[in-house]
Amino acid sequence: MTIKDNPAATEPASSRAAQPVTIYLGRHSHTTANAMGLYQGWSDFPITEKGREIIRCLGRGMRGINFTAAYCGDLLRHYETARGALDWSGNESVNISVDPDLREDNFGSFEGRDARATLSAVSKHLGFDSFEETNEKLGKDAYIKVQDAFYELDRANILGTDLDDGLRAEASDQVKERMVRAMNKVGETVARQGGGNVLVISSGLSLRHFLGAVDPTAYMNPDQPNCSVTKLVYDQGHYSIVGPIGSMEYYERGRQA
């Protein structure tokens, strides 16, 4: 599907022969918030030791892929995942470009709160008795409706916080727009530099918003594991998903190496 936002960045072309732009789009590794069941959007939580081992497996599973570029969100979990995956895959010389637009959804006043209790409250706001019922009734669009519920509840300030408006929960369209903007920048920049393989590390829900823009009919597992990867080919604003969404192929390959 073709998704456009702003005109392409004017990056100088290199002398390399033109190649397809192949994007390996991954979720960050396991964090302390994942371990504690807390909401982490724009909040920064460190990678756990379990998460570091997952990164090592991801990197080992990507050996043989020569990356020409790498991008990630601006939080520690994004950078540590990207850096480790590059180092363990033999791509130590590749620098990482950091882009805040590749962050997770912002949950505003709900950041750092217990995920189970928060999802229960959000589900009731949407008219359901539980998050399980929310997923069942809303199907593949559940993540969109849930993010919009965060937006509505935080704008109503039901938690009584003093957050600035710009730091409150995002609407789903805001997340989608910035993710499309970031990914188009990645695709156009790498294409102008000659193409090749590019590693991009973001977060689970923001990845869903982007992939939903690429293919609204695509099935996405509600529980995308840490360090799962979706492979895409980019060509002049057009993205083709290659293989399954949120694959653990590279992690499993590295775990067995």
Annotated active-site residue 177? The verdict is no
Is residue 238 a known part of a binding site? no
In this structure, the number of other CB atoms found within 10 A of the CB of residue 42 comes to 19
| Active-site residue identified among 78, 80, 104, 188 | 104
Q: Is 32 annotated to bind ligand? A: yes
120 in helix, strand or coil? helix
34 annotated binding-site participant: yes
Contacts of 226 (CB under 8 A, 6+ apart): 27, 28, 29, 30, 34, 51, 54
Residue 209, marked binder:
no
Q: Measure Cα distances from 240 to 200, 203, 232 in Å.
A: 16, 20, 5
Q: In 79-91, which positions are buried (b, 16+ CB within 10 angstroms) versus exposed (e)?
A: bbbbbbbbebbbb
Measured CA distances, 49 to 35, 115, 249 (Å): 11, 22, 21
Phi (first) and psi of residue 224, to 5 degrees: -70, 120
Is 230 annotated in a binding site? The answer is no
| 9 Rama sector, left if φ>0, alpha if ψ -120 to 50, beta otherwise | beta
Residue (of 227, 183, 197, 217) closest to 84 by Cα position: 227
Establish whether 95 is an annotated binding residue. no
77 labelled as ligand-binding? yes
Residue 31 among known ligand-binding residues = yes
- C-alpha 140/C-alpha 22 separation (Å) is 26
30 appears as a binding residue in the annotation: yes
Binding annotation for substrate: 27-34, 77
Question: Catalytic site residues?
Answer: 28, 104
Residues marked as binding? 27-34, 77
